[in-house]
A and B are shown apart, each in its own frame.
Chain A
Amino acid sequence: MSKLLKAFLFASFIAFPYTASADVTVASWGGAYTESQIKAYVDTYDAGTVKFENYNGGLGEIRAQVESGSVIWDVVDVLPDEAITGCDEGLFEDISAEYDNFTPAPDGTSMIDDMAASGVTNLSDCCAPQIFWTYVVFYDPDAFSGEKPSKIADFFDTTKFPGKRGVHTWANGFIQMALVADGVAPDAVYIVLKDQTGAVDRAFAKMDTIKDDIVHWSAGSKPLELVKSGEVVMSIAYNGRVGAANLSEGENFEYIWEGQLIEQEYICLVSGSPNRDEALAWMIHASSPESQALQAKYITYGPMRASGIDIIKAGEPWFHTGIDVMGHMPNTPELLKISVMGDPEWWSDNGAEIDERYGAWMGN
Chain B
Amino acid sequence: MEVNISTADQILTTDGIPLKVSLRKTERRNKIRAFLLVFPLLLFIIVTFIVPIGDMLLRSVDDSQINEVYGKTFEEYKKWDKEKDQLPPEAVYRALFEDIGYGDKLKIGRAITRMNYSKSGWKSLIKKTRRQINKIVKSGELPTSYKDTLIEINKGWADPTFWYSMSQMLAETTPIYYWNAIDRTYDQDSKVIMQSEERRIYVATWIKTFKVSVYVTFYCLVLGFPVAHLLANLPLRYSNLLMIFVLLPFWTSLLVRTTAWIVMLQQNGVINGVLVWLGILSDDGRIQMVYNMTGTIIAMTQILLPFMILPLYSVMKVIPKSHMRAAQNLGAKPVRAFMRVYLPQTIPGMSAGGLLVFVLAIGYFITPELVGGKDGQLIGHWIAHHLKTTINWGLCSALGAILLGIMLVLYWLYNKIVGIDNIKLG
- Are chains A and B native binding partners rather than an unrelated pairing? yes
Residues of B within 8 Å of A, CB-based: how many? 42
Tell me which residues across on chain B come within 8 A of A352, comparing CB atoms.
Answer: 116-117, 120, 389-390, 392
Enumerate chain B interface residues (CB-CB to A < 8 A).
Answer: 105-106, 109-110, 112-113, 116-117, 120-124, 127, 198-201, 204-205, 208, 266-269, 291, 369-370, 373-377, 382, 385, 387-393
Tell me if A363 and B388 are in contact (CB < 8 A): no
Distance between Cα atoms of A214 and B375 in the complex (Å): 12
Tell me if A363 and B377 are in contact (CB < 8 A): yes
How does the 8 Å CB contact mask read for A131-151 relative to B, with 1 for contact and 0 for none?
Answer: 000000000000000000000
Tell me if B268 and A89 are in contact (CB < 8 A): no
Tell me if A357 and B199 are in contact (CB < 8 A): yes
Tell me which residues across on chain B come within 8 A of A88, comparing CB atoms.
Answer: 109-110, 112-113, 123, 127
Query: 9 A-B pairs, CB-CB below 8 angstroms?
Result: A89-B110, A90-B109, A218-B369, A218-B376, A219-B370, A352-B389, A357-B199, A360-B198, A363-B205
Tell me if A353 and B391 are in contact (CB < 8 A): no
Tell me if A362 and B377 are in contact (CB < 8 A): yes
Tell me if B385 and A353 are in contact (CB < 8 A): no
Q: A169-B374, A352-B116 are in contact. Are A58 and B291 (CB under 8 A)?
A: no
Nearest opposing residue in chain B for A56, CB measure:
B388
Tell me if B117 and A362 are in contact (CB < 8 A): no
B389 contact from A215, A217, A230, A355, Cβ within 8 A: A355
Tell me if B389 and A216 are in contact (CB < 8 A): no
Kindly name the residue among B269, B375, B382, B391 whose own CB sees the greatest number of chain A CB atoms within 10 A.
B391
Nearest opposing residue in chain B for A59, CB measure:
B391
> Does chain B have a CB within 8 A of A57?
yes
Tell me if B391 and A58 are in contact (CB < 8 A): yes
Tell me which residues across on chain A come within 8 A of B390, comparing CB atoms.
Answer: 351-352, 355
Q: A88-B112, A216-B291, A352-B117 are in contact. Are A63 and B373 (CB under 8 A)?
A: no
Chief secondary structure at chain A's binding surface:
helix
Beyond the given A58-B387, A59-B391, please list 19 additional residue pairs across the A-B interface where CB-CB is below 8 A.
A57-B388, A85-B123, A89-B106, A89-B110, A90-B105, A90-B110, A169-B376, A217-B373, A218-B370, A218-B376, A219-B370, A222-B370, A229-B269, A230-B268, A355-B389, A356-B199, A360-B201, A363-B375, A364-B204
Nearest opposing residue in chain B for A348, CB measure:
B123
How does the 8 Å CB contact mask read for A74-86 relative to B, with 1 for contact and 0 for none?
Answer: 0000000000010
Tell me which residues across on chain B come within 8 A of A196, comparing CB atoms.
Answer: none
Tell me which residues across on chain B come within 8 A of A346, comparing CB atoms.
Answer: 124
How does the 8 Å CB contact mask read for A200-220 relative to B, with 1 for contact and 0 for none?
Answer: 000000000000001111110
Tell me if A359 and B200 are in contact (CB < 8 A): no
> Does chain B have a CB within 8 A of A53?
no
Distance between Cα atoms of A346 and B112 in the complex (Å): 14
Tell me if B388 and A58 are in contact (CB < 8 A): yes
Nearest opposing residue in chain A for B262, CB measure:
A225
Kindly name the residue among B200, B267, B377, B389 whose own CB sees the greatest number of chain A CB atoms within 10 A.
B389
Chain A's nearest CB lies how many Å from the CB of B390? 4
Tell me which residues across on chain B come within 8 A of A360, comparing CB atoms.
Answer: 198-201, 204
Tell me which residues across on chain B come within 8 A of A2, comparing CB atoms.
Answer: none
Tell me which residues across on chain B come within 8 A of A351, comparing CB atoms.
Answer: 389-390
> Does chain B have a CB within 8 A of A349?
yes
Tell me if B199 and A349 are in contact (CB < 8 A): no
Nearest opposing residue in chain B for A90, CB measure:
B106
Distance between Cα atoms of A89 and B375 in the complex (Å): 34
Tell me which residues across on chain A come within 8 A of B113, comparing CB atoms.
Answer: 85, 88-89
Q: Once A and B bind, how many residue pairs between them come within 8 Å at the CB atom?
A: 107
Nearest opposing residue in chain A for B263, CB measure:
A229
Chief secondary structure at chain B's binding surface:
helix
Nearest opposing residue in chain B for A225, CB measure:
B262
Tell me which residues across on chain B come within 8 A of A56, comparing CB atoms.
Answer: 388
Within 8 A of B (CB), among A34-58: 56-58
> Does chain B have a CB within 8 A of A101?
no
Nearest opposing residue in chain B for A84, CB measure:
B123
Tell me which residues across on chain A come within 8 A of B377, comparing CB atoms.
Answer: 169, 359, 362-363
> Does chain B have a CB within 8 A of A231?
yes
B120 contact from A216, A345, A350, Cβ within 8 A: A350
Tell me which residues across on chain A come within 8 A of B208, comparing CB atoms.
Answer: 363
Tell me if B387 and A216 are in contact (CB < 8 A): no
Q: A88-B112, A349-B123 are in contact. Are A60 and B387 (CB under 8 A)?
A: yes
Tell me which residues across on chain B come within 8 A of A345, comparing CB atoms.
Answer: 124
Tell me if A363 and B201 are in contact (CB < 8 A): yes
Chain A's nearest CB lies how many Å from the CB of B253? 15
Chain A's nearest CB lies how many Å from the CB of B107? 8
Chain B's nearest CB lies how many Å from the CB of A117? 25
Chain B's nearest CB lies how many Å from the CB of A192? 16
Tell me which residues across on chain A come within 8 A of B388, comparing CB atoms.
Answer: 56-60
Chain A's nearest CB lies how many Å from the CB of B156? 11
Tell me if B268 and A231 are in contact (CB < 8 A): yes
Distance between Cα atoms of A171 and B171 in the complex (Å): 32
Distance between Cα atoms of A216 and B295 in the complex (Å): 13
Distance between Cα atoms of A229 and B120 in the complex (Å): 40
Tell me if A349 and B121 are in contact (CB < 8 A): yes
Distance between Cα atoms of A359 and B198 in the complex (Å): 10
Within 8 A of B (CB), among A311-364: 345-346, 348-353, 355-357, 359-364
Chain B's nearest CB lies how many Å from the CB of A229? 5
Tell me if B268 and A229 are in contact (CB < 8 A): yes
Chain B's nearest CB lies how many Å from the CB of A32? 18
Tell me if B291 and A215 are in contact (CB < 8 A): yes
Chain B's nearest CB lies how many Å from the CB of A66? 10
Distance between Cα atoms of A40 and B291 in the complex (Å): 38
Tell me which residues across on chain B come within 8 A of A356, comparing CB atoms.
Answer: 199, 201
Chain B's nearest CB lies how many Å from the CB of A208? 12
Nearest opposing residue in chain A for B387, CB measure:
A60
Nearest opposing residue in chain A for B204, CB measure:
A363
Tell me which residues across on chain B come within 8 A of A229, comparing CB atoms.
Answer: 266, 268-269
Distance between Cα atoms of A229 and B264 in the complex (Å): 12
Distance between Cα atoms of A87 and B105 in the complex (Å): 11
Q: Give 9 closest A-B pairs by Cβ, nearest first.
A: A58-B388, A90-B106, A88-B109, A362-B374, A216-B373, A360-B201, A353-B120, A352-B390, A350-B120
Distance between Cα atoms of A363 and B267 in the complex (Å): 21
Tell me which residues across on chain B come within 8 A of A362, comparing CB atoms.
Answer: 374, 377
Tell me which residues across on chain A come within 8 A of B385, comparing CB atoms.
Answer: 355
Chain A's nearest CB lies how many Å from the CB of B236? 43
Tell me if B266 and A231 are in contact (CB < 8 A): yes
Tell me which residues across on chain B come within 8 A of A359, comparing CB atoms.
Answer: 201, 205, 377, 382
Chain A's nearest CB lies how many Å from the CB of B398? 15
Q: A218-B376, A352-B390, A360-B199 are in contact. Are A89 and B109 (CB under 8 A)?
A: yes
Q: A88-B112, A89-B109, A216-B291 are in contact. Are A349 and B120 (CB under 8 A)?
A: yes
Distance between Cα atoms of A356 and B201 in the complex (Å): 7
Distance between Cα atoms of A58 and B116 in the complex (Å): 17
Chain B's nearest CB lies how many Å from the CB of A173? 14
Distance between Cα atoms of A88 and B113 in the complex (Å): 9
Chain B's nearest CB lies how many Å from the CB of A360? 4
Within 8 A of B (CB), among A206-252: 214-219, 222, 229-231
Tell me which residues across on chain A come within 8 A of B120, comparing CB atoms.
Answer: 349-350, 352-353
